[in-house]
Structure 1
Amino acid sequence: MATRAGVQHAENAMRHASEALERTEADYAFWMRQYKRQTKDVRDWMDEAAVTVEETTPRYRILQQALTDTKHGLDCAARSSTEARQELASARQFYLNVFCVMLSPLKRRRGREQLYLVPAKRSKYAKAFEWNDTNGKTMHHFPKDMELPVCNLAAMWALWLCGDPRSKHPPYRILTPPDLLAGRARRSLSTLRFVMLEIESRVLAKGAWVSSPNPEDAAGMLAKVKTSLAVRPNKNRGSLQPVELLQWTSMGRIIRDQKKLEADEEEDEE
């Protein structure tokens, strides 16, 4: 059942990525037609004879502004198309991985299938933040001074899946190292991905994954795997905080301890 769910997610990811690429290519084609038409207008204007400076100056400014706007649209469309191609490549690899799992014996860990994760869809979200860098002004998904918040697991899981609408942040699961300038923030992202992707794998194993979730869906998914996340070796369960109230950074250590315990148990069984 979990594998069938993985195949369905893979097929959906392929379809959405293909549709996104078609849209971005159509957008790029539109701006390219505009660019060619406007460059022709400029050439025609330059070839005009017997016009005075007073007549040409307003016309020149109009043509210049139109061409500048079109070049900006063309650049944005080119970047979107590149991202869409990368997303499609990721979706194809995701599909191949799932397909290979179906054809070959599945590796299991404590009775659970090892599942592949649903790829992030960066092109789905608007770039709301302007950066001033060496390439001039460019638009990005997150602000230039982006830092990962220190909060409990439930809050970070909601940010991971749903983002922060008040701050115009998309889901944190689309974060990549280039989105974070500080080395400390990038190291935190590595820990965050480790924790969140492990939770995602457990949610998928339960067949509880929800596409395009809202905060309520996110809370429901976390509740499905809360029991497995709460396993902490050599601890008195009665004295522990609920796992969703722990800081998400603490979950990295807990999950590593769980994996170590699983490995030790597998060695004992052998």
Structure 2
Amino acid sequence: MSGKSQHPLMKYIRPETLPLPYCPGCGDGVIAQCVLRAIDELSLDFTKMAFVSGIGCAGWIPSPLFNSDVIHTPHGRPIPFATGLKLAKPELNVVVISGDGDLSAIGGNHLIHGARRNIGLSVICVNNFIYGMTGAQVAPTTPHGLRTDTTPYGNPENPFDLCKLVEAAGGTYVVRWSTLHVKQLTRSIKKALQRKGFSFIEVLSPCPVRYGPLIKIRHPIDMVKWLRGIMVSKEEAKELTAEELSQKMVVGEFVEKSVPELSEQYLKMRWGENGEN
């Protein structure tokens, strides 16, 4: 057999962007593959998809890697950009991929109102518990008490539970997995891509370069072991006390419901139920 075989997902990638810019042990490459594998398994038309990302490590998952329409937005603004895109072109499958700092700190209000409005977006939030790209500053997901570059005496703030936040705001599909849950994550992305309304997928991801040293872990393999150790399933969580749960991250599907989607509601207001003005 002559010649080199090509990875089946290469058709979705701009070859000039390789090699990938991710740090050793980062989960962004795993997430990129799960997104593209979900699209491939669903045989979706890539020309009818659009990806929106913000500033941070996770913003480089679709931009400029994916050979599709991609908007790399200002810090904290991927959801409002994606909202405008979905309202202008409701036939598009719009996917937001960004990090916990970008989406829940400077972009926190946009996350809440995107869920409240139930705009038809698939939002993938990569949570590495820190601002990774810009130097290990404290983030809304950083555990209480942790010393970071901007909290040298320890983080005095309580972290967000992003899935509970989005659920309370009105998200209609809310799940949490990690980069270790490759099959589950791919299935959830497939489900989100086929749903109407605001889908939120939180992905716990290791950051051995920035977050690892803060918790005294420096090797990527040890970071994976740590990540496995902090996670429990919904079923396991029922057997734990509140104190025990405070040290864990519960993974699984939390919300799945049908609610009228915003762009369709706008079209009905404009044209009526029968498409008449």
Larger radius of gyration: 1
TM-score of the pair, normalised by structure 2: 0.22
TM-score of the pair, normalised by structure 1: 0.23
Tell me which protein shows more helix as a share of its residues: 1
